Amino acid sequence: MTRPSSRSGHSDSTGTAAARTARADSAESAGSAESADGTDSAHGSAPVVVGTPGSFARSVLDERHPALIERVRRAVPYPPALQRALDALLEEITEGVVERLADDEPGAERWRDEPHYGRPWADVPFLWAESYFYRRLLAALGHFGPGPWQGIDPFAPFKEAELTSTKVDDELSALDRLPGLPAAERDRTLLLSSLWGNRADLGFRMSTGSGGLAERVPGLVVDDSAALWGVLDAGPPGTVCLVADNAGPELLPDLVLADHLLGSGRADTVVLHLKPYPYYVSDATTADVLACLDRLSGAAEPAARVGARLRQALRAGRLVLRAHPFSCAPHGYGLMPADLRDDFASATLTIMKGDLNYRRLVGDRHWPATIAFDEVTAYFPGPVAALRTLKCDVVTGLPAGTLERLHAEAAEDPAGSGAAWRTSGTHALIQVRA
Ligand SMILES: O=P(O)(O)OC[C@@]1(O)O[C@H](CO)[C@@H](O)[C@@H]1O
């Protein structure tokens, strides 16, 4: 069942978007350390990712976005007027320049002063272009209404197919092996399940050999998990902010991890940050959390018990859902508004899930892969961890030896593109700045 998501748009509580972007751009053009996304670095700022010909970003703009329009068109029987709006968007992103939202589009005023209109989509910051593409797609499909398509999630068919697959039942049944594990192994298993869930395949299987977690560990290029638990165990339980990424196969292990943090005394409150509207195809909204709770409650034990505890935690205010408009903003967290900054500053730890949140956390830039994670997250107002499978060019905090090994492996792989480890989802990282 697809629950209509709430009506909202990208609000900007730090003055107009243009003022922020102009300030950041001028800072960047002045060569100061502050970058267009607010991330500071002693190294100054690396080049912002744009759709350079032949780049991964360009393949997303030229191939993935047009393909997504066709997937959405096939999955939902939209009427002729919305089909025509999809046609117009497809033509614009493949042959045109960035156009404004229509003046009568709900929330258009928050995008009006952005500085990228009239430029080719490939020339503007990739993070901005992707975010704006999804906002334009929802506009084309009447998501913000008024009208019969208001609140309809165009990606619901894809999310539903993932969540109802029998593979999820198999994975959830593996939870029955958790109670028998030593506490430290339970911690590790649930953390790795949440991490690899970002690869959109549940990782509860604790067994080695069958593609279980042990087999995936070689793809872990940075593992700061000990530091993560160290932050959580350093004092009395407080608030953990879990910034969610994808729904279904990623959100389920994220929710199980949240239940574990609450149940093992690592957190007295978990604030689950969601998207206020459908975004990047599978990003999780409140409707997706409710669908996951239904899925858990309908599964065999112990998954059903986890679902019941999470429902109780929601009712008791120990699990809090948050859908801040900035979660769908086309900027890095370096430009986050004050209220969101306060959330993260007051948390024992903020856990950022997934590739997009990583890009927004460190800054969507071609950083040297070995630049310290602490350095590019120095602006962040509290302890922060990233759990992410690598699905784009941006990476930081790699030990030099690891980078050399990855380059050597890529060079030996005749089929490889030389940088597949950066974008294929086969590698992952757990990074912490305490
Ligand atoms: O945040 P997620 O879901 O882990 O990954 C999202 C993402 O990898 O998909 C896009 C390519 O389609 C990237 O630009 C973006 O970072």
| Digit-coded pLDDT (tens) for 343-373 | 999 999 999 999 999 999 999 999 999 999 9
- How many CB atoms within 10 Å of residue 157? 15
66 and 192 housed in the same domain: no
Per-residue pLDDT of 48-100, as tens digits, reads 999 999 999 999 999 999 999 999 999 999 999 999 999 999 999 999 999 99
User: Separation of 63 CA from ligand 1 center, angstroms?
Assistant: 14
Label residue 146 exposed, middle or buried (CB < 10 Å: 0-12, 13-18, 19+): exposed
143 and 165 housed in the same domain: no
pLDDT of 418 above 70: no
The domain total for the chain is: 2
180 and 286 housed in the same domain: yes
Residues lining ligand 1, Cβ inside 6 A: 60, 64, 130, 198, 245-246, 280, 354-356, 359, 391-392
Using most ligand atoms within 8 A of CB, pick from 55, 155, 364, 392 the residue to mutate for ligand 1: 392
Q: What is the DSSP string of 159-194?
A: HHHHHTSHHHHHHHHGGGGSTTS-HHHHHHHHHHHH
Computed over every residue of the chain, the mean pLDDT equals 88
406 and 283 housed in the same domain: yes
Using most ligand atoms within 8 A of CB, pick from 391, 394, 422, 423 the residue to mutate for ligand 1: 391
Domain boundary among 152, 173, 207: 152
Is 138 inside any structural domain? Answer: yes
ipTM: 0.96
185 and 302 housed in the same domain: yes
According to the model, what pLDDT value does residue 213 have? 54
According to the model, what pLDDT value does residue 210 have? 44
Is 2 inside any structural domain? Answer: no
Band the pLDDT of 215: cuts 50, 70, 90: low
Which pTM was predicted? Answer: 0.89
Q: Give the domain range for residue 320.
A: 158-433
Among the residue ranges 4-13, 131-140, 307-316, the one predicted with the least confidence is 4-13
247 and 369 housed in the same domain: yes
* CA-based radius of gyration for the chain: 21
Token duo for residue 51: 């759709």
Bridge partners of 272, per DSSP, are: 242, 321
Minimum CA distance residue for ligand 1 atom 14 = 392
pLDDT of 298 above 70: yes
Is the Cα dihedral 261, 266, 271, 273 positive or negative?
negative
Is 20 inside any structural domain? Answer: no
